[in-house]
Amino acid sequence: MTVNTRPSLLRIDSSADDSGESVSRRLTTLFADLWCERHGTAGYRHRDLAVEPVPPISSAYCVLGRRVEVKKSVPPSEVGALVENAQEEREWALTLPLITEVLAADTVLFGVPMYNFAVPAALKAWIDRVSFPGAFPEGSLAGTRVVVVLARGGAYGPGTPREAFDFQEPYLRAYFGDLGVAGEHLHLVRAEMTLADRLPELARFQPFAEKSLAEATAALTALLTG
Q: Which residues are annotated binding-site positions for FMN?
A: 15, 22-24, 114-117
Q: Which amino acid is at 16?
A: A
CA–CA dist 104, 136 (Å, integer) = 12
Instruction: For the chain, state the CA radius of gyration.
Output: 18
> What percent of the residues of the chain are helix, what percent strand, and what percent coil, each to the nearest 5?
50, 15, 40
CA–CA dist 178, 176 (Å, integer) = 5
Beta bridge partners of 187: 147
Beta bridge partners of 148: 110, 188
CB 107 within 8 A of CB 45: no
Cα dist from 187 to 1, 101, 108, 142, 181, whole Å? 18, 19, 10, 14, 10
Residue 206 carries which DSSP code? Answer: H
Binding residues: 15, 22-24, 114-117
Angle subtended by helix axes 59-71 and 86-104, to nearest 10: 70
Residue 54 carries which DSSP code? Answer: P
